[in-house]
Structure 1
Amino acid sequence: MPETGTVENLILGGGEPGKYIAWELAAQGGRCVVVERALIGGSCPNIACLPSKNVIHSAKVADLLHHAAAYGLPTEPAATDMEGVRERKRAMVEGMVEIHRKKFAADGIEFLLGEGRFVAPRTVEVSLAAGGTRRIVAERIFLNLGTHAALPDVPGLADAALLTAVEVLELDRLPEHLIVLGGGYVGAEFAQAFRRFGSRVTVIEYGPQLIAREDPDVAEAVRAIFAEDGIDVILGAATKAVSGRSGDRVRLQIETPHGERTLEGSDLLVAAGRTPNTHVIGLELAGIECDARGYITVNERLETTAPGIWATGECAGSPQFTHAAFDDFRIVRDNLAGGERTTRGRLVPYCMFVDPELGRVGLSETEARSQNIDVRVVSSPMGSVLRARTLGETRGFMKALLDAHSDRILGFTMLGPNAGEVIAVVQTAMLAGLPFTGLRDAIFTHPTMAEGLNVLFANAPAPRRQGEKS
C-alpha cells in the first residue's frame, strides 16, 4: 500500500478552473497538490480552443489566397502543406505549455502527472505517469475533470480508427474526403476549415438542422454558406453502420428522409458531443453524486454532495466554454474568501468560429418561445454594415431580441465578421441594464463592425402596450 500524505488543497485536473484555483491558493500561502492526467495547462491550450482556432486561422489564410484575385492580387493556385499547418499549431501549443510549466513551479504547488481516483472520502490515490503511486488525504478537494468526445453507439464505429477533435489537429496530410459525423460547433468549424484546405467535406447531422441549439434562420444561413463553400450537408440522417478504417477508406450506411444510402470517404471525424470524465474514478467512494448523464451534482456555489469538495468546469455541467470554466474558478475563489457568488443568472456568451463567425449572448427566438417570453425581434443583413462591405464579407446578419414592452435587450445573435467581438459590446450593455436605445444612439467608430449596431437598433419596432398581441 502506498504511503499516505496529507495536504491542505488537492486539485484533481489542471484545466482552466483547476489551475487558477491552485495558483490563487498558493499565492495566498496555501499548500496545493495538482494532479493532471496528461495535459499541462488543460485541454484549452493543448487540444481544444487555442490549437483549433490556430488551425482555423490557417484555413482562413488559405481561403484568402484562393480568392486573392477578387482583391486585385491574382496568385497561382497553392496546395496546402498540412505538415506546416501542424507545425505552426504545435509551436503555439509548446509555448503555452512552457508558460504553464513555469506557473506550476510556484512556491506552494506540487504538480503531479498521473491518474487520480478516490479510494475513500477526501482520499485520492494517484498512479504516477513516471511510475509508482501516491495516496493523498486533503482537507479540501477541487475537481476539474473535464469531458471527452462522445462516441455514438453505431456498429463498426469503434473499430474505424476514427478521428475526434484531438486527432484531427495532428493530421500531417490532407484528407481526400472528410466525413464529419455531427453538425454542431466542433463539426461545423472543422468541416469548413478542411474544405478550405482543399478536402472534399460531407457533414452528416442526425437532427433537422445544423447547430441544433440555434434558431432555424441562423442554422439555415450557416447551411447556405456551407453550400456556397462546397460543403455537402446531409440533415435528418441516422448512421446505421460503419465499415473500413479512417485514413484509408471508410463507408457509412445512413438512413435519410429520402431513403438509405452508402457514403464513402477517406477519413471520418466524429463530433457528436461530449461525455464527462467521471466514470471509474471512485466518486461514489467519496460521497460525490452524479446525475443520470454522469455530470457531478453541484449546487449554485459549485459544492458537491461531499463536504469540502467542489466541482468546476464541464464535469460539473457548466457551459462547455473555457470562459465559463474561468468564471467557475472566480465563484469558488470568492466564496472561499467569504463571498456569496453563485452560478445563478450568469450571462454566458459564446462564439462558433466558422467564417463568418457566429456569436450569441442571451436568449434566442426559440428559447423565448419555449419560455413564453414576449419579445420584439429586429434583424439587419450584414450588407448594411459598411465595414463588411469594405472587407467584401457581407454574408450573414445581426438579430436582437427586445422585451415586448420595454427597451431591455434579451438576446443578440450575429453571423458575420468579428461576431465574437461585437457580441461583447451587446453583452456589456445587457449586464449594465442599458436599453437598446443606448446602442442605437452610441457614436461607434466608422467604419467598424460595431457600427452595425446603430443600423440594427434604428429599425427596432415600437414597444407594445401591455396585453397587446404581437
Structure 2
Amino acid sequence: MTTHYDNIIIGSGQAAPSLAVSLAGRGETVALVEGHELGGSCVNAGCTPTKTLRKTARVAHIARRAADFGVQTGDVTVDFGAAMDRMRDRVATARRELTAWLKRTKGVDIITGWGAFDGRDGDKFVVNVGDTRLTADKVFINTGTSAFTPPVRGLETVPHLDNVGLLALTELPRHLIIVGGSYIGLEMGQIFRRLGSEVTIINSAPRLATREDADVSRIIQTLFDDEGTTIVNDATIAKVEPSRNGVTLILTDGHSFEGSHLLFATGRTANSDRLNLGSVGVETDERGFIPTNPLLETNVAGIWALGDINGRGAFTHTSYHDHEIVLANSNKDAGPLHQWKDADQRTITYAMYTDPPLGRIGMSLADAQKAANDGRNILTADMAMSDVSRAKEEGEVIGLIRLIVDGETEQFLGATVFGFAGDEIIAVLSNYMATGASYRYMQQALPVHPTVAELLPTILGNLKPLAAR
C-alpha cells in the first residue's frame, strides 16, 4: 500500500517541525519521518540538555566564588544525579511539547522509522520507511549530522564517548579526557570541570578554538587554566589502551594521561548514508553533505536540503532560518513575506557557550586584516570587558568586544563579543546588520544604563583604519 503526501520531510531537526506546520497551514499534507527522537540534535543531545547542564555548572561555579561577593558558604558539592535528572526532565518536556504540537496539527502525520528514497513513481518521489511506502511531490531532507570519531590506534579496546554518550552518564567522571579543543570540547570540558571532574583537553591544533582570533584563543586558554583544566595543545595521539581505572591516552611525544572516561569532540559527519540518495540522483560532496543553491534546492528539482546536512552552518538557528527561506520562496502569490534573504546573503552568526560565552558574527579580525591587505578600507575598534562598568559590577571581567566596519559603506562587517552576555549582545548586532544600515545610526541610539551593550556607540566612536601588513 502506498500513501501519497504533498510533502515528505525526512528528519525532524529544527527546520522540520515549523516547516511541517506551516505547509499544513497552507492546506498541504505532510509526512514527517523520524527514525529516532523528534527534535533532532538540538532538543535531544545539543542545545536543550547542554544549556540545562551548563546552568548547574554555572551555579556551582558562582557558589564557589560566593566570598568574592560578600557571601559566605560552606563546601560546594554537586549532586550529579540530580543535575542529570533535571537535564533529562527538561529534554523530555521539550520533546513532549513538540510532539503534542505536531500531533494536533491537521495535515501532519508523524511516521516513525528511518526514511530512504526508492527512486520515483512517475513524477512522484518514493520514500520507504520500513515496510511503509510513501510518495510525494516535494521532499525536504533535514537529517543533520552525527559525531565523528577519528581512527585511533587501540580505540576498539577501550570504552569511549561522543556527545550523546556523555549526556547519558549516571556517574560523574573522575577524570574526563576530551579529544578536541573546539566548541563542543570546550563547552563540555568547562561544564564537567565545574561539576567536579578532573578534565584534560587534548588539542591537535596549536591553540584552542582556531576559528577565532589568536587573542581570543589566549583569553580562552587563560580562563581554562584558571579553572584548573589541563590543556595540551599541538598534540598528536599515538594510541589509547585500557588501564585499571579506565583508559590511558599516549601522545607521540611520549606523554600519557590516565582517565576514567574518554570523550571525542572531533567534529561532525553528515547523516546521509541511509538515505539512498543515488536512487533519485541527489549529489553529495566528499564528506556526505548535500550541496544546495541559495534557495536550499539540491541538484534535483523538488528536493531540498535543510539544516546541518547542507553544510551551510551547523547551528540550530541556521536550520530554522533555512525553513523560513524555503517558505518565503515556495509561495510567491501569498503576498509580502518577512524572510527575503537567501542562504548566500545571510551573515552567519553563532555563540560558543563557555562561561562567559563567545558571540560571533561575520568577519574576525584575521579576516579583516586580509581584506585590508587587499586594499579594502576596514575600520576596527576593541574594548576590554575589564573596562565595562556593568561587567565589573557583575564580577565578570573576562573577554572583549570587537567591532569591524566597512569604511566606505559604513556597514558592519563583523563582531566578536566574548564576555558577560556575549550571546545576547551578538544578537543585537546580528539584527542590526540585517538592516544594512550605517553604523552611525547605532552611534546615535539612546542605550540603557548600566548594560554591556550601552558601550557599543562608544566603541564605534573609537573606530580606526586597519593598516595593511
TM-score for both structures, normalised by structure 2: 0.93
CA gap 1:374/1:188 in 2 versus in 1, 3 angstroms = farther
CA contact (8 A) 1:124 1:135 kept: yes
Q: What's the counterpart of residue 279 of structure 1?
A: 273
Please report how far the alpha carbon of residue 344 of structure 1 lies from its aligned counterpart in structure 2 after TM superposition.
1.3
> 1:326 maps to what in 2?
320
Contact 2:61–2:194 (CA under 8 A) maintained in structure 1: yes
The answer for the alignment partner of 1:130 in structure 2 is: none
Aligned residue type for 2:416: T
Q: Once structures 1 and 2 are overlaid, which stretch shifts more, 435-444 or 406-415?
A: 435-444
Matches within 5 A, 1:335-354: 335-338=329-332, 341-354=341-354
Structure 1 residues 147 and 244, CA, compared in 2 at 3 Å: closer, same or farther? same
Q: CA offsets, 1:222-255, max 9 Å, x none?
A: 111111111111111111211228x951111113
* Residue of structure 1 aligned with 2:248, choices 234, 251, 268: 251
CA contact (8 A) 2:180 2:202 kept: yes
CA contact (8 A) 1:82 1:171 kept: no
Asked whether the 8 Å contact 1:80–1:174 carries over to 2, the reply is no
Of 76, 83, 93, the match for 1:85: 83
For the aligned residues, what is the CA RMSD? 1.9
Q: Residue 457 of structure 2 aligns with which residue?
A: 454
- Tell me if structure 1 keeps the 8 A contact 2:202–2:231: yes
Q: Following TM superposition, by how much is the alpha carbon of 1:157 offset from its aligned partner in structure 2, in angstroms? A: 2.4
User: Does the aligned pair in 2 maintain the 1:334–1:341 contact within 8 Å?
Assistant: no
Map residues 393-408 of structure 1 onto 2, 5 A cutoff: 393-405=396-408, 407-408=410-411
Question: Where does residue 35 of structure 1 map in the other structure?
Answer: 33
Determine if contact 1:384/1:452 at 8 Å carries over to the other structure. Answer: no
- SS class of match (2:163): coil
Query: What is the CA-CA distance between 1:423 and the residue it aligns to?
Result: 1.1
Contact 1:401/1:409, CA 8 A, preserved across alignment? yes
Shift of 1:469: 5.5
Whole-angstrom distance in 2 between the partners of 1:75 and 1:239: 42
Residue pairs, 1:36-55, within 5 angstroms: 36-55=34-53
Unaligned residue ranges in structure 1 (runs of 5+) = 128-132
Distance across 2 between alignment mates of 1:250 and 1:280: 32
Which stretch of structure 1 is more off in the superposition, 60-69 or 401-410? Answer: 401-410
- Counterpart in 2 of 1:181? 179
Counterpart-to-counterpart distance in 2, 1:375 and 1:198: 45
1:385-464 matched pairs, under 5 angstroms? 385-405=388-408, 407-461=410-464
CA contact (8 A) 1:55 1:85 kept: yes
| Compared CA separation, residues 294 and 425, structure 1 to 2 (3 A) | same
Query: In structure 1, what is the Cα distance between the partners aligned to 2:455 and 2:175?
Result: 38
Match of 2:11 in 1: 13
Q: Out of 402-411 and 236-245, give the one that drifted further.
A: 402-411
Report the residue type matching 1:287 in the other structure: G
Equivalent residue, structure 1, for 2:380 = 377
Which aligned pairs between 1:41-120 and structure 2 lie closer than 5 A? 41-105=39-103, 106-120=105-119
CA contact (8 A) 1:385 1:455 kept: no
SS in 2 for 1:451: helix
AA aligned to 2:282 is: I
SS in 1 for 2:285: coil
2:262 partner amino acid: L
- Whether contact under 8 Å (2:369, 2:468) holds in the other structure is no
CA offset at residue 406 of structure 1? 5.6
In the alignment, which residue of structure 1 is the partner of 2:203?
205
Identity %: 34
Instruction: Report the CA distance between 1:341 and its aligned residue.
Output: 5.0
